[in-house]
Amino acid sequence: MDLENQQRIKDAAEKYGAENVVVILGASEAEAAGLAAETVTAGDPTFAGPLAGVQLGLRVYHIVEPDIKDQIDAGVYDEQVGMMEMVLDVDAIIEEMKSIRTEYCKYND
């Protein structure tokens, strides 16, 4: 996750309260999604950005997870995500995201 997006997320958590912020990711690989998820929950693991050492514990999901996908109009989802979803390892992404939420999220439902 780039430094600019880290700052945006940090600002949103400060402005609205971390318990009111949900981060939706769209990385194409489970490892990349996991790294971004870890950044917004446990802090930037590279210690290079605004979230270095900042444990926001935010709720974080990937766009292909059923909890998110089911909340989006099917036509919009198919148009915007459908093609990408067909080539992704959705199961690996879901498992990675669940693992990060279980370990680091402070606001699990």
Print the domain residue range for 43: 3-104
What confidence category does residue 108 fall into, taking pLDDT thresholds of 50, 70 and 90? confident
Please count the structural domains in the chain: 1
Integer Cα distance of 44 and 47 in angstroms: 5
Give the tens place of pLDDT for each residue, 4-45.
Answer: 999 999 999 999 999 999 999 999 999 999 999 999 999 999
How many CA atoms lie less than 13 Å away from 61 in the CB half-sphere?
16
In the block, tokens 């769209």 appear at: 26
Kindly state the tokens that stand for 5. 């997006």
Q: What is the pLDDT of residue 34?
A: 97
Report whether 104 contacts 60 (CB < 8 A): no
Whether 38 is in a domain gets the answer: yes
Is residue 109 domain-resident?
Answer: no
| Residues 26, 8: Cα–Cα separation, whole Å | 17
In-domain check, residue 85: yes
Q: Is 99 inside any structural domain?
A: yes
Q: What's the mean pLDDT when you consider all of the chain?
A: 95
Is the residue at 86 inside a domain?
yes
pLDDT per residue over 97-106, tens digit each? 999 999 999 9
> For residues 105 and 102, what is the distance between their CA atoms, to the nearest angstrom?
6
